[in-house]
């Protein structure tokens, strides 16, 4: 597991939390920011997964 996958997972978790707090408080801006953070984390996690796959196949 590389750095991108770890950071991506952390971003997803933070995004989910922001999104939930935004929904609970009726704060649409926080909810949208959380959804964006979550999506960014998913992409970063996917990039890390590809990197891991390439690294494994290169050896």
Please report the DSSP string for 1-59 in residue order.
--HHHHHHHHHHHHHHHHHHHHHHHT-HHHHHHHHHHHHHHHHHHHHHHHHHHHHHHH-
Q: At residue 11, does pLDDT exceed 90?
A: yes
What domain range includes position 7? 3-58
Total domain count for the chain? 1
The pTM for the full model equals 0.84
Per residue in 18-34, pLDDT (tens digit) is 999 999 999 999 999 99
Which of left, alpha, beta for 2 (phi over 0: left; psi -120 to 50: alpha)?
A: beta
What pLDDT is recorded for position 58? 79
Q: At what angle do helices 3-25 and 28-58 cross, to 10 degrees?
A: 160
């Amino acid at each position: 597991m590389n750095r991108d996958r770890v950071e991506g997972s952390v971003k997803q978790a933070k995004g989910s939390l922001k999104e939930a707090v935004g929904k609970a408080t009726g704060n649409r801006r926080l909810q949208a920011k959380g959804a964006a953070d979550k999506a960014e984390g998913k992409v970063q996690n996917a990039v890390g997964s590809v990197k891991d796959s390439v690294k494994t196949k290169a050896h």
